[in-house]
Amino acid sequence: MRMFRSRTTRAVTAAVAVGLIATGCASERGKDGDKGGAKDTFVFAGAGDPGSLDPALASDGETFRVTRQAFEALLEHEPGGTKLVGGLAEKWSSNPAGTVWTFNLRKNVTFHDGEKFNAAAVCANYDHWFNWKGTYQSSAVSYYWQAIMGGFAKNEDPEAPKANYKSCTAKDENTAVIEVDRPSANLPGGFSLQALAIHSPKALKEYEKQAASGKGDAITYPKYSQEAGTVAGTGPYKITKWNKGNKEVTLTRFDGYWGDKAKVKNLVFRTIDTEEGRRQALQAGDIDGYDLVSPADVKTLKGQGYQVPTRDVFNLLYLGMTQEKNPALKKPQVRQAIAYAMDRENIVKTQLPEGGKLATQFMPDTVAGWSDKVTKYSFDTDKAKQLLKAAGESSLKVEFCYPTEVTRPYMPAPQDIFELIKADLEKAGITVVPKPLKWSPDYLDATEAGACALHMLGWTGDFNDGYNFIGTWFAEYDKQWGFKDPAVFAAVTDASKQVDPAKRVASYKKANETIMAYLPGVPISSSPPAIAFGKNVNPPKVSPLTQENFAEVSFT
Amino acid sequence: MLRLVVRRLLQLIPTLLGLSVLLFLWLNRLPGGPASAILGERATEADVARINRALGLDQPVWVQYGRFLKRVVQLDLGTSTQTGQPVWDEFVLRFPATVELSVAAMLIAVAAGIPLGYLAARRRGGWLDVTAVSGSLIGICVPVFFLALLLKGVFAVGLGLFPSYGRLSTGLDATGVTGFAVLDGLLTGEFDATWDALVHLVLPAVTLASIPLAVIVRMTRASVLEVVGEDYVRTAESKGLEKRVVRVRHVLRNALLPVVTAVGLLTGSLLSGAVLTESVFSFGGIGSFIRTSIDARDYPVLVGFIMFIAMVYVLINLLVDLAYSLIDPRVRVH
């Protein structure tokens, strides 16, 4: 018995000792306030892993957040704004037809691998993308190239879009000329996209060696895009390590950067996939900042002394109506009745963070082309009832899909927003049949296939051109909306063909007025996504396009 | 013994074949596909159709299944549609984290559960028994995610004693050898990395251990109570055998038989069920990857993972049987 007890005692004592040592060590680490060591490392948490270190292969924000610190495009957006400014090109211009774009390039710029940046490097990149083959032609891989420049030198899929890119010529060392076949509303905005950021020509040659590694029946990303070492841009940071097991990408200051050098030596992006987890990690001092802050946490964090700047709105939430799914929606009075029945001010007040805005059209007011002359549909339940009666739809029954298990920058609490709209519609006498669906892929598939009479979706803009919003939905027939209205389609496509920027903006305004008169759906709101930083951080200028430049970050 | 091992391994073949057929039928009936998951709001009908063609998802299910079988024979599980990397590489990258977490949780559960269950049985009705029984009831009842958030809120955010997420501290440049962070530090002599990995393991492992600990306590207690009343125990005691020998050789050894079975099954469930714990602690294991794979309809990963887990279960059962024969000589004889 004594022996047993003494053994037990020894085991318990050892366990307690280990516990105390662990606790002590952990506490010491905690006291430093920086669990990664000295304050030369800034740790920022995102919600997902990047998909690739080559931005040309990506279409998601988590990838671009990382690559944006290492790669630069010909054009960029002003810090904290949406206006196009010079990036790797100091100046740019186009011919009157909008088909020849000339870029005067920045001098004395070098890539992370020591290669020199010049016009030949620009053309090497554009030609590299244009000549992609095999799996690179899948829209899952080269989404943005296809969205901006159409297809490829040799389209392998007959359904692929027709190529708009024609050529790139290095007129001299610092002048690159890019020709396209037809004028496009996506230009010059598209030249600012991360997916079209410029890589070192030496790295591109390495990429090409791996181009054939994709398998026929699956999309296999090449090795260079999955581990640090090959990719090389011109940005203030270079990517030095991607530890996938620890969900961490490490970037190190590039001392040869042409502009203002990064203030913090190391920049680490970590993935914490839950909102709660990111907030707790900030509060525990494990990270220095994070994105996709829940609106519900903003007040708490601010109260605790954290910095929670909100970005200017550059997104839109709308109530979509699929006319082919419910024939009643083909009647203009019914669509108008739904718009009048919705108390959208209440949604903005109760569901969006501070700075949320009521939407009057299918683009936020920060986009050039927003019009103050559109038809407005302010909350009026009685009017909604009258319109339904006039349409012979007093007992309208409509299926309403909403997504579960998701928050989007434009839609912080889908279910709550749905409940508010449902209650409003029911007050107007409309019977709502709720249909909750898991966001991905069920909800996305259902809305895209036109299977939801009413649904909520939205969009965050890529660059400041109206077509990036209204062109996405109303340039042609789309199952999601299920209508064919030549006037609406013509207004949008005609606007996109205007080469002169002022005329194009005026045309977008007209297009917005046409769309809101027709009312294919109801624009609801624009939400300012919040981003959080530690108490000891001098944060970067926050960008409505979520294009923060972390080279601006420093510690107090 | 060898025959048992070979027989069990051969049983794997029809098990996996049957499972793969069921999986393909199930996946084929799920709504949605990977294309819209890849493109999100940007997916157009044409894009979805093109991606489905590229992935071969427009083919009949038996054609897809045939292609899958052909690949499996070549030891190729396919490519993840989420990451564009071979499924096997994704497992190799993430599975060590889950194994490390599960083993740590099971060690905690066994190390604490068996003595606690035994002592509770020996002091039946006493305060230790009441505490162990009610504590294990709480352990089973409290949802894992709630416990995880609670522990994290108190010990990581509130007291700052442990890290709130991840497997290693940011910036700790540990050398990877096996993928097991604790082991790698020992192998490379980077003991700070081992220590760091252990500190990161504490909260998730304690969280994950809650249910198996409760099960083991209750099973050990019940089993000991049953064995204590057996004739052979009374005989051993009346023979004048030392109490320690009676406890260890006659009571504990026999009482552990059902517990070993439970430990085996619980280990299998930990390997496949660490999803919530991994998500809350952003642990980077296979559980959280599977969760995102379901959202993304990443069929190759789902098929590969479920078959892999089935294989693990069969192997664990085999190990349990082998352990039985070590504990109980009667099994060896038969």
Distance from the B32 Cα atom to the nearest Cα atom in chain A, whole angstroms: 5
Question: Do A140 and B48 count as a contact with CB atoms less than 8 A apart?
Answer: no
pLDDT at A84: 93
Percent of chain B past pLDDT 90, that is, above it, reads 17
- The answer to whether B63 contacts chain A (CB < 8 Å) is no
**Domains of chain A: which residue ranges?**
1-70+235-311+530-556, 71-202, 315-526
- Which one, of A439, A261, A83, A499, lies nearest residue B43 by Cα? A439
How would residue A13 be classed by pLDDT, with cut points 50, 70 and 90?
Answer: very low
Using pLDDT thresholds of 50, 70 and 90, give the confidence band for residue B13.
confident
Do domains A1-70+235-311+530-556 and A315-526 share one topology? The answer is no
CB-nearest to A27 from B48, B161, B167 is B161
Structure confidence at residue B20 (pLDDT): 83
- What's the pLDDT at A12? 45
Q: Which residue among A217, A280, A448 sits closest to B164, beta carbon to beta carbon?
A: A280
Model confidence at A210: pLDDT above 80: no
Residue B59 has pLDDT above 50, yes or no: yes
pLDDT of residue A22: 44
Residues within 8 A of A (CB atoms), B 7-26 only: none
Give residue A9's pLDDT band: very low, low, confident or very high (50, 70, 90).
very low
Question: Is B17 in contact with B66 (CB distance < 8 Å)?
Answer: no
**pLDDT for A376 beyond 50:** yes
Is 50 exceeded by the pLDDT of residue A58? yes
ipTM of the complex: 0.72
Q: Do B50 and A160 touch (CB under 8 A)?
A: yes
pLDDT tier at B37, thresholds 50, 70, 90: low
With an 8 Å Cβ cutoff, are A1 and B40 in contact? no
The predicted structure's pLDDT at residue A219? 67
For the residues A77-90, what does the mean pLDDT come to?
A: 93
**Residue the block writes with tokens 């393991």:** B201
CATH number of the A1-70+235-311+530-556 domain: 3.40.190.10
Residue-wise pLDDT for B206-259, tens only, equals 999 998 999 999 999 999 888 888 888 888 888 888 888 888 888 888 888 888
Of the residues A8, A9, A16, A35, the best mutation for testing chain B's interface (the one with the most B CB atoms within 10 Å of its CB) is: A35
Chain-chain contact of B33 with A160 (C-beta, under 8 angstroms): no
Tell me whether residues A448 and B36 touch, CB distance under 8 A: yes
H or E element at residue A105: strand A100-105
pLDDT at B198: 94
pLDDT digits (tens, 9 = 90+) for A415-473: 999 999 999 999 999 999 999 988 877 888 888 888 999 999 999 888 889 999 999 89
Range of weakest confidence among A337-341, B66-70, B146-150: B66-70
Give the type of residue at B140.
I
Query: pLDDT category, A17, cuts 50, 70, 90?
Result: very low
Highest mean pLDDT among A19-28, A181-190, A193-202: A193-202
Per-residue pLDDT tens digits for A233-288? 999 999 999 988 888 999 999 999 999 999 999 999 999 988 889 999 999 999 99
Which pLDDT belongs to residue A5? 43
Residues of chain A contacting B153 with CB distance shorter than 8 Å: 280
Instruction: Please check whether residue B239 touches A, CB under 8 A.
Output: no
Q: Give the per-residue pLDDT at A213.
A: 52
Q: How far is A223 from chain B (nearest CA, A)?
A: 9
At A372 the pLDDT is 95
> In angstroms, rounded to a whole number, what is the distance separating the alpha carbons of residues B269 and A389?
59
Residue with tokens 């692929």: A160
Rounded to a whole number, what is the distance in Å from the CA of A35 to chain B's nearest CA?
7
In SS3 terms, A396-449 reads as CEEEEEEEECCCECCECCHHHHHHHHHHHHHHCCCEEEEEEEEHHHHHHHHHHC
- Average pLDDT of span A309-319: 93
In angstroms, the Cα distances linking B3 to A47, B7, B9, B261, B318 are: 50, 6, 10, 21, 12
C-beta atoms of A36 and B55 within 8 A: no
CA-to-CA dists, residue A467 to A184, A474, A497, A540, B243, angstroms = 10, 9, 10, 29, 85
pLDDT of residue B334: 53
CA distance linking residue A409 with residue A461, whole number of Å: 11
Query: Which residues pair with residue A317 across a beta bridge?
Result: A458, A525
**Residue-level pLDDT at B189:** 87
Residue in A with minimal Cα distance to B40: A444
> B144-182 b/e with 16+ CB inside 10 Å = b?
bbebbbebbbebbbeebbbbbbbbbbbbbebeeeebbbb
CA triple A313-A318-A319, angle to 5 deg: 160
Which class for B281: exposed (0-12), middle (13-18), buried (19 or more C-beta within 10 A)? buried
Collect all residues of chain A within an 8 Å Cβ-Cβ radius of residue B84.
51-52, 141, 219-221, 226
pLDDT tier for residue A524 given thresholds of 50, 70 and 90: very high
Chain A, nearest residue to B57 by Cα? A217
Most confidently modeled range among A119-123, A433-437, B114-118, B181-185: A119-123
What's the confidence (pLDDT) of residue B84?
Answer: 80
Confidence of residue A491 (pLDDT cuts 50, 70, 90): very high
Q: How many beta carbons lie within 10 A of that of residue A186, not counting itself?
A: 23
Query: Quick one: DSSP state of residue B157?
Result: I
- Average pLDDT for residues A59-78, to the nearest whole number? 94
Cβ-contact B143, A259 below 8 angstroms: no
Is the domain A71-202 a CATH 3.20.20.140 member?
no
Residues of A in contact with B152 (CB under 8 A): 280
pLDDT at A264 (0 to 100): 96
Q: Which residues contact B6 (CB under 8 A, 6 or more apart)?
A: none
* Closest to A355 measured CA to CA, from A527, A156, A502: A527
pLDDT at A525: 96
pLDDT for position A278: 93
Distance CA A152, CA B246 (A): 80
- Please state the length of chain B: 334
Residue B31 has pLDDT above 90, yes or no: no
Nearest to A140 among B51, B156, B163 (CB): B51
Q: In the predicted model, what is the mean pLDDT of residues A352-356?
A: 87
**pLDDT value at B58 more than 50:** yes
Determine the pLDDT at residue B303: 84
pLDDT range class, residue A30, cuts 50, 70, 90: very low
Nearest to A22 among B97, B199, B288 (CB): B199
Q: Do B296 and A247 touch (CB under 8 A)?
A: no
Q: How much of chain A exceeds pLDDT 90, in percent?
A: 66
Mean predicted lDDT score pLDDT of chain B: 83
User: What pLDDT was estimated at residue B272?
Assistant: 66
pLDDT number for residue A36:
43
Q: Which CATH number fits domain A315-526: 3.10.105.10, 1.10.760.10, 3.40.630.30, 3.40.50.10860?
A: 3.10.105.10
Q: How would residue A317 be classed by pLDDT, with cut points 50, 70 and 90?
A: very high
Q: Contact at 8 Å (CB) between A527 and A285?
A: no
Is the per-residue pLDDT at B42 higher than 90?
Answer: no
Residues 260-299 of A with CB under 8 A from B: 266, 268, 270-274, 276-277, 280-281, 283-287
pLDDT band at B41 (very low <50, low <70, confident <90, very high): low
Nearest chain A Cα distance for residue B18, angstroms: 24
The pLDDT of residue B316: 80
Paired tokens of B317: 């059962």
What number is the average pLDDT over the span B124-146?
A: 86
Does residue A314 register a pLDDT over 60?
A: yes
The answer to whether residue B29 scores a pLDDT higher than 60 is yes
**Which tens digit of pLDDT belongs to each residue from A383-401?**
999 999 999 999 999 999 9
Q: What is the mean pLDDT of residues A359-363?
A: 97
- Taking only Cα atoms into account, the Rg of chain B, rounded to an integer number of angstroms, comes to 24
Q: Considering the entire predicted model, what is its pTM? A: 0.80
How high is the pLDDT of residue B77?
A: 80
In this prediction, residue A34 carries a pLDDT of 45
Q: Return the pLDDT at B40.
A: 67
